[in-house]
Copies of this chain bind each other. A is one copy, B any other.
Amino acid sequence: MASNRGGHKGRSRRHARAAGPAMLFDLDGTLVDAVYEHVLAWHQALQQKKIALPCWRIHRQIGLSGKSFLPMLFREIGIERNPTEIEELEELHLEIYMSRIERVRLLPGARELLAHLSEIGIPWAIGSSGEPKAVEPILKLLGVPDSAPVILAKQIERGKPNPDVFVKAAEKLKVSPSDAVVVGDSVWDLLAAQRAKALGVGLLCGGYGQAELEAAGAYRIYSDPGDLLNHLEELGVRETD
């Protein structure tokens, strides 16, 4: 399918090679339990700037960049902030989040899922709206080699729910997005998947309800990466010998 297999060229002695679609993963809320820390970091950053926004509204916007979601939420509560103030809020959020990042843990099965895909030769990549500084320690936790294709918001023009991050990730794997599966925890991932003509798979571990993910077009829904790993055949991943 592709010569570039996302830095996971090792073949297991235990596992056969497999046929199946390439997999494009979101990071925060999908592979790592970072959503709730992000929510409270945003909440605290906004409080410091005397802006009152309830946590659940922030939760539903995680996965979008602050630049995308803050103007929307501000419109809802009838306030305005200029681009400089938005950037200050983004910096403040990052600072608060980084001060807590040592409490962030991988989601169950995340490391094992990526390792297994590598072993059986299924190409995979990561596409995230995260800041490089926040993403780097998480990739270390995941045991992702430096050579693995990771596309961050900074490298693309338009963030989620635009399809760019996953289109670029598929490009890196030399596959068509329409032959790939996008795995994400937020409706923004699933909308980006639809726009990339990829199959969207939802994970509940970011805290969205099942029906919200279904309504955004999820083809299948799993609890977390470990649950997905146990049901890979449902996504057309089949060991070939």
A residues sitting closer than 8 Å to B (CB atoms) are 33, 35-37, 39-40, 43-44, 47, 52, 54-56, 59, 103, 105, 107-108, 204-212, 224
- Complex interface: chain B residues within 8 A of A103 (CB): 43-44, 47
- Complex interface: chain B residues within 8 A of A35 (CB): 55-56
Interface pair A54/B224, CB less than 8 Å apart: yes
Of all chain B residues, the one with the shortest Cβ separation from A56 is B207
Min Cβ gap A86→B in Å is 21
Min Cβ gap A168→B in Å is 28
Min Cβ gap A204→B in Å is 6
Of all chain B residues, the one with the shortest Cβ separation from A203 is B56
Q: How many copies does the complex hold?
A: 2
Contact pick for A40, options B40, B54, B224, CB 8 Å:
B40
Of all chain B residues, the one with the shortest Cβ separation from A44 is B103
Of all chain B residues, the one with the shortest Cβ separation from A35 is B55
Interface pair B206/A209, CB less than 8 Å apart: no
> How far, in angstroms, from A36 to B56 measured CA to CA in the complex?
8
Interface pair B209/A54, CB less than 8 Å apart: no
Min Cβ gap A157→B in Å is 31
> How far, in angstroms, from A52 to B207 measured CA to CA in the complex?
17
| 19 A–B contacts from the bound complex (CB under 8 Å) | A33-B54, A33-B55, A35-B56, A36-B36, A36-B39, A36-B40, A36-B55, A37-B40, A43-B103, A47-B103, A52-B105, A52-B108, A55-B207, A59-B207, A209-B209, A209-B211, A209-B212, A210-B211, A211-B211
Interface pair A56/B204, CB less than 8 Å apart: yes
- Complex interface: chain B residues within 8 A of A36 (CB): 36, 39-40, 43, 55-56, 59
> How far, in angstroms, from A163 to B223 measured CA to CA in the complex?
29
